[in-house]
Amino acid sequence: MSRDDGRMLNEGFDAYVDGALGAQQHAEFERRVQGDPALQAEQVRQRAIDAALGRLFPVPGAERAEALIRAAGQAAGQAAAVGRHAELVREDHATGSPMRRRGVHRLRILAYAACALFLAGGGWWLASILREPSVLSTGSVAAEFRPVDPLDAVRRIEREKHEPDLVCEDDQQFAALVWMRTNQGLLLAQPLPVGVEVVGWNMRQTVLSWKTLILMARVDGQWVYVIIDARANDRSLTVPSGSGQRLFRDEVGALVAYELTPFDGPRLIGLLYDPKRDDSWYRAGIRW
């Protein structure tokens, strides 16, 4: 293959993955991909990268937009006017009134498409990657990450009105999520004590590492958070006295768990345990 051929092939491939080819050209290129292992590999790489981008940067939902605009309105001294907008948005969402503009509709369709693409691509990629875990065991990088203070993380979660990134359908899914991020499963002993209600996961607060998970729960009507990560990523988390919050630490196998709570003692981390199931059980729990 000449250098020009390579360049043209790259341009063709880019146009193909970009959806920029016409229907006929797309079909032709599709056939070409089917018969070319190198192009297939390139396509697989691109899908894996796109899926990773979706996981790394989960686009926030409309509720978060509303929370941010309200907070911004307060900061700018325009709370009342922003509040009127929020009422209109809620009314619009409830009634489907004409205020729902075409642009909003289009953005929503794009968001749904992105979600579907992310779920399809991510699921496929995850299933494949789990079949061959060794493919991720090569090389080494020292990516930088910005640690988030536990209280800042909670403030952000509050600002998002505790909107979970994931609500697990069952124990298997719960354990699989932790296993995927930390290589060890985790469950909460059942039945949960009276007054404890698990709300869902926040997966975007980099308290200890990129892979930090925060379990959000209501305990006797108060918000309690469990920050979970691999013990290898642990560092001394503290909260200042006078913050109204206390931090309790525990270890479960190779994991570390910090409970951030307004109560005098931990109510959740003592319930955590490693279910010690085989990989296939965890893989079957990956359903998002």
Partner 1 sequence: MRHDGAARLTVEQFASAFHESFRLYWLIAVGITRDAALADDIVQDAAVIAMRKLDEFQPGTSFNAWMGQTVRFVAYNAARRERHNRVASFDPSDLDRRPASHASEEAPPLEDLRRGIVAADPRNFDDQVMHALGSISDTARACLLLRTLAGLEYAEISQLLGIPAGTAMSHVHRSRMSLRRQLAPHLPGWAGAVGGDA
Residue from 188, 204, 216, 257 in contact with partner 1 (CB under 8 A): 204
**Interacting residues of 102 by C-beta distance below 8 A, sequence separation 6+:** none
Tell me if 233 contacts partner 1 by CB under 8 A. Answer: yes
Residue from 78, 95, 97, 222 in contact with partner 1 (CB under 8 A): 78
Quick one: 102 or 194, whose CB is closer to partner 1? 102
**Interacting residues of 18 by C-beta distance below 8 A, sequence separation 6+:** none
Q: How far is the CB of 230 from partner 1 (least distance, A)?
A: 8
Q: Helix crossing, 102-131 with 37-56: angle to 10°?
A: 120
Pairwise CA distance, residues 79 & 39, whole Å? 54
Residue from 189, 238, 276, 287 in contact with partner 1 (CB under 8 A): 238
Binding part of the chain for partner 1, among 141-149, 190-198, 219-227, 264-272 by CB under 8 A, reads 141-149
Residue from 6, 25, 30, 68 in contact with partner 1 (CB under 8 A): 68
Tell me if 146 contacts partner 1 by CB under 8 A. Answer: yes
Binding part of the chain for partner 1, among 112-120, 169-177, 186-194, 220-228 by CB under 8 A, reads 112-120
Site string for partner 1, 255-284 (x = CB under 8 A): ------------------------------
Residue from 8, 27, 30, 52 in contact with partner 1 (CB under 8 A): 52
Tell me if 111 contacts partner 1 by CB under 8 A. Answer: yes
Binding to partner 1 in span 12-41, by CB under 8 A = 14, 17-18, 37-38, 40-41
Quote the tokens at residue 181: 């991020």
Tell me if 127 contacts partner 1 by CB under 8 A. Answer: no
**Residue 110, amino acid:** L
- Residue count, binding to partner 1 (CB under 8 A): 94
**223 membership: H or E segment, kind and range:** strand 222-230
Tell me if 161 contacts partner 1 by CB under 8 A. Answer: no
Residue from 32, 162, 231, 246 in contact with partner 1 (CB under 8 A): 231
Pairwise CA distance, residues 115 & 106, whole Å? 14
Tell me if 247 contacts partner 1 by CB under 8 A. Answer: no
Q: Residue 221 has what DSSP assignment?
A: T
Binding part of the chain for partner 1, among 6-14, 213-221, 268-276, 278-286 by CB under 8 A, reads 6-14
Pairwise CA distance, residues 80 & 97, whole Å? 22
Tell me if 95 contacts partner 1 by CB under 8 A. Answer: no
Tell me if 239 contacts partner 1 by CB under 8 A. Answer: no
Quick one: 34 or 222, whose CB is closer to partner 1? 34
**Interacting residues of 20 by C-beta distance below 8 A, sequence separation 6+:** 14
Q: How buried is 243 (Cβ within 10 angstroms: 0-12 exposed, 13-18 middle, 19+ buried)?
A: middle
Pairwise CA distance, residues 176 & 259, whole Å? 21
Tell me if 232 contacts partner 1 by CB under 8 A. Answer: yes
Structural contact between residues 105 and 113, judged by C-beta atoms closer than 8 angstroms: no
- 262-276 as b/e: b if 16+ CB within 10 A: eeeebbbbeebebbe
What distances in angstroms separate CA 69 from CA 26, 95, 185, one per listed residue?
Answer: 41, 22, 38
